[in-house]
Amino acid sequence: MAVQLEFLKDLPYFAGLDEAALGSIRRYVFEKKAERGETLAFEGEPSDVLFFVSSGVVKAFKTSADGKEQIFRIVRPGESFNDVPVLSGGVNLVSAEAMGPVVLNGIKKKDLEIIVRERPPVALNVIQVLSRRVQELVTLVEDFSFRHVTSRVAKMLLEYADRKAGEGPRLTQQEMAAMIGTAREMVGRSLKNLETAGTIRMERNRIVIADQQALKEMAGVT
Amino acid sequence: MNEKPVIDQEKCQGCGLCVDICTPGALGLVDNVVELQAPDKCGWCTLCELVCPYGAISCPFEIVIENECS
């Protein structure tokens, strides 16, 4: 299926470009599909394709020597992964795996370089994307350093609450633990605490945020 | 009740821990591979996911905000 101009227009990489520019960029973009659990990038290996998630959700994570997983980012539709190795020419800092069926749009490193040379505003967009990535990492370190587990769980629930039906990730308690740097048991305990406090309600496979304001206060966000 | 635990039968080693811990009896082993045999009995306690040493079962949660959920 041909990559839609509408999709490219909404990508931070190509923000502000006119239709003619997007049309010429489109020829470099190809589509790739993957199933749940498929590995899309391996930590420590070189990567020469920048991927944008068109539909579905991808997790970017690292695994320790003893098999412990730390999720760095959940990549949602319209967001990209593999940016750093593609732009630095180095290896993947993290692995990436499809959390369900996904459709990706890819651009090869050499083609991205052509696009950036031909259209300097793209370079500014890239800087903004990377700056946001730095902000996300600083926030992650801040959360690990200063927030207790229940507060981290509350913040994560607010961040990943599904506002657009079907677009949010579905997360296991193990994945939640891997995102906020704790053990699965601690996530289970925190969810129970939040439920007892009346801020959330557990409904079979749904976590319903019942009191958004109280959850925000618990998460320390305004 | 449409949602079911996600089972990766290729990862399943047939140890049966999940079947043992599933008190409502939603899971069973067929040819040494786990199967969700009675989905209506599954209460999403997530214990099967917790005990599986191979990561073959997952019970993911959707996170929704009340009044914004359909």
pTM summary value: 0.77
Taking each helix axis from N to C terminus, what angle separates A109-118 and A120-146, rounded to the nearest 10 degrees?
A: 120
Dump pLDDT digits (tens) for A97-144. 998 899 999 999 999 999 999 999 999 999 999 999 999 999 989 888
| Residues A28, A34, A40: CA angle, nearest 5 degrees | 75
Q: Distance (Å) from the C-alpha of residue B25 to the closest C-alpha of chain A?
A: 17
Dihedral of CA atoms A163, A81, A151, A62 in degrees, nearest 10, equals: 140
Whether the CB of A36 is below 8 Å from some CB of chain B: the reply is yes
Q: Distance (Å) from the C-alpha of residue B44 to the closest C-alpha of chain A?
A: 5
Q: How far apart are the first and last CA of chain A?
A: 42
Chain B hits for A157, Cβ within 8 Å: 63
Q: Quick one: pLDDT at residue A220?
A: 87
Residue B70 reports pLDDT greater than 50: no
Q: Do the Cβ atoms of A191 and A207 come closer than 8 Å?
A: yes
Residue A167 reports pLDDT greater than 70: no
Which is nearest to A61 in space by CA: A106, A12, A99?
Answer: A99
Q: Quick one: pLDDT at residue A1?
A: 57
Q: Are B59 and A204 within 8 A, CB to CB?
A: no
Which is nearest to B14 in space by CA: B56, B43, B69, B61?
Answer: B56
Dihedral of CA atoms A31, A36, A39, A40 in degrees, nearest 10, equals: 20
Question: How far is Cα A1 from Cα A64, in angstroms, rounded to an integer?
Answer: 38
- By CB atoms closer than 10 A (0-12, 13-18, 19+), residue A64 is exposed
Q: Quick one: pLDDT at residue A8?
A: 93
CB atoms within 10 A of CB A8: 20
Rounded average pLDDT over B35-49: 93
Confidence of residue A211 (pLDDT cuts 50, 70, 90): very high
Residue A146 reports pLDDT greater than 60: yes
Whether the CB of A161 is below 8 Å from some CB of chain B: the reply is yes
CB atoms within 10 A of CB B41: 13
Q: Quick one: pLDDT at residue A165?
A: 60
Whether the CB of A88 is below 8 Å from some CB of chain B: the reply is no
Question: How far is Cα A154 from Cα A217, in angstroms, rounded to an integer?
Answer: 9
Whether the CB of A192 is below 8 Å from some CB of chain B: the reply is no
Q: Are A206 and B59 within 8 A, CB to CB?
A: no
Q: Which string of b and e fits A125-146 if b means at least 16 CB within 10 Å? A: bbeebeeeeeeeeeebeebeee
ipTM of the modeled complex: 0.85
Whether the CB of A68 is below 8 Å from some CB of chain B: the reply is no
Q: Distance (Å) from the C-alpha of residue A51 to the closest C-alpha of chain B?
A: 25
User: Nearest 5°: phi and psi at B28?
Assistant: -150, 165
Whether the CB of B40 is below 8 Å from some CB of chain A: the reply is no
**What one-character DSSP code corresponds to residue A37?**
T
